[in-house]
Structure 1
């Protein structure tokens, strides 16, 4: 159910609570850590404060295994502060699009100018292998929804910052780049839907990120997106898909992903 409160006012209220509870008046960057990416929060810097989702207005404990349900304030080596969002709301949870993008809008309200969005996803591109991180260079939004309301016209050219992708490629020149396709979930895509995603230009399929990226662009943030390929999508791999498989691939890839994000964030 959609929250009737003005979304930007709710984000400002949440940001004020975060500043009060963490003692950090301003955050410079924000990271939403999806399946496989959570360990990065432990290595990118010094944890200043950890908040349970329910302590902050508009946030909820994630109903998805593999998500921490917390917000962390972290001091980076360069003295900047990062807000790590482990309490992601997914479109399929039925809370409405405002709730889906509340974390991004709150991050912007704390002062963050860079938004790092990560996820675990299925590989459509046959060149991708499970356990491999892929830079998102563009997306296709198949949710039939938008976080923008009314006559709010926002340009999505270079939505996933070319500058930040170049920084990531300096850290790891072997990274592939691909187009992320967001379906609604929570069911996995059918083989026909996966073929469709590939035909229309998608390399990756998942259930998050695209709506968040649009909201981040509206808020004036620079966006870096990453998918961890947790499995090959339906019809490409022969075995049935399962969330247990996603979690296992995430655990196996965590050390590499944490090191990668840590090195990238120091260049911001």
Structure 2
């Protein structure tokens, strides 16, 4: 018997069976019953689902045993099955992800990853909206993730904490190769072939739990650690996907530049006899969720074109 909780493991099988039954009840083709790729559509990037063609089947999270419901604006909360590209690559999209900050624990937030692993998915594409910590990054830029910093994990808040599911992966999975090099190369080759002019970087994504955006001091700390971007998702999903032996690719859309300069000193202002009006508006430049969604919409066309070309190259031998 596994050292993991067999009852909990059975939850993944129950959910996977419910999904399969729903697909069959809607006369889905054989390829949709065996999707090759899971695509997680991040904030403002739900439009990726629009590149699916032909037959599609939508299953709301509420209809899947064990799935929690997405509560964030811009996250529909469903699995969408379909095909992408001339090669008809079968995929399943998470149109809206689940977050720790919504009040779900990591097991709930990453539950869909384990369920699609039971369905046979072996490749994860995770997208997100993020803040640009690297001072050369601008809003609207994209960043291919080649590594991450898991700040909650360093403090012991880790999605693999607890009994291990030996049926799915090892107790101590390596993460030095979490972001697959061959997939990153295929992505950049697709971009080059398409002639996309949008700036696309490659760098390190830093995970913070949220839901508050980072303070100025926290942004300086992240920059000193080597983080290029910061966000509130993706890393828990990558950790669980790698535990399930999935190959992983991550793409971040920079929606804003973080504020990292120290705030003005009230002590100095008092000594100089300055008023708050003379010091200036301290709310200027701060981040909002509306800004995140706006940048996502502006970048969606390029992202969709690139993703279609990239995913079309993911053959059975990939």
Q: Find the counterpart in structure 1 of residue 229 from structure 2.
A: 204
Counting only pairs closer than 5 Å after superposition, residues 83-232 of structure 1 correspond to structure 2 as 83-143=92-152, 144=155, 145-148=157-160, 149-150=162-163, 152-173=171-192, 175-232=200-257
**Mean Cα deviation higher: 13-22 or 182-191:** 13-22
Which structure 1 segments of 5+ residues have no match?
none
Q: Find the counterpart in structure 2 of residue 58 from structure 1.
A: 66
Three-state SS of the structure 2 residue aligned to 1:9 is helix
Larger Rg: 2
Q: Provide the C-alpha distance between the structure 2 equivalents of 1:5 and 1:252, rounded to a whole number of angstroms.
A: 45
Q: TM-score, normalised by structure 2?
A: 0.79
Q: TM-score, normalised by structure 1?
A: 0.93
Q: Provide the C-alpha distance between the structure 1 equivalents of 2:72 and 2:56, rounded to a whole number of angstroms.
A: 25
Count matched residues: 265
Q: How far 1:87 moved relative to its partner?
A: 3.6
Calculate the aligned-residue CA RMSD, in Å.
Answer: 1.8
**Mean Cα deviation higher: 167-176 or 104-113:** 167-176
Q: Provide the C-alpha distance between the structure 2 equivalents of 1:15 and 1:205, rounded to a whole number of angstroms.
A: 32
Asked if 2 retains the 8 angstrom alpha-carbon contact of 1:122 and 1:232, the reply is yes
Q: Find the counterpart in structure 1 of residue 306 from structure 2.
A: 260
Q: Provide the C-alpha distance between the structure 1 equivalents of 2:98 and 2:92, rounded to a whole number of angstroms.
A: 16
Q: Provide the C-alpha distance between the structure 1 equivalents of 2:89 and 2:285, rounded to a whole number of angstroms.
A: 44
Three-state SS of the structure 1 residue aligned to 2:46 is coil
Q: How far 1:75 moved relative to its partner?
A: 2.2
Three-state SS of the structure 2 residue aligned to 1:138 is strand
Alpha-carbon displacement from aligned partner over 1:154-185 (angstroms, at most 9, x marks no partner): 10111010010000010124621010000010
* Richer in helix (by share): 2
**Mean Cα deviation higher: 212-221 or 23-32:** 23-32
Q: How far 1:96 moved relative to its partner?
A: 0.6
Change (3 A) 1:115 1:7: farther
Q: Provide the C-alpha distance between the structure 2 equivalents of 1:120 and 1:182, rounded to a whole number of angstroms.
A: 12
